[in-house]
Amino acid sequence: MKHKRIIPADIDSMIIEVRGEKVILDAGLASIYGVPTRTLNQAIKRNADRFPPDFVFQLTLDEAQAAHRLRSQTVILKRGHSRQNSVKQ
């Protein structure tokens, strides 16, 4: 069964910085392709020779926790509002 590709409205919100590089985590990439995260990771492991060495890396525990905090603090604003306008001073 072929999954329908789902393109998020705002891919920029999936991009985070880790080790000085802009990355999309496996869960975000899986959602773009419309597959479960485990399926994406299995495909990458089966085809590791097709990817450059720096294409995939595993986060440390500290990096994973920081990424989780970053994602959980993401603010979604109404169209036409900026973050500066939404913060009470």
Give the per-residue pLDDT at 59.
Answer: 87
Give the number of residues written for the chain. 89
* Residue 37 confidence (pLDDT): 92
Q: Where are the domains of the chain?
A: 11-86
pLDDT in tens, 7-66: 656 788 888 888 888 888 888 888 888 899 999 999 999 999 998 877 888 888 998 888
pLDDT tens digits, one per residue of 63-85: 888 888 876 654 455 555 444 43
Helix (H, G, I), strand (E, B) or coil at 15: strand
Tokens representing 85 are: 């306008």
Q: Does residue 4 surpass a pLDDT of 80?
A: no
User: What gap in Å lies between CA 25 and CA 6, rounded to an integer?
Assistant: 16
User: pTM for the whole thing?
Assistant: 0.63
How many whole angstroms separate alpha carbon 41 and alpha carbon 30? 9
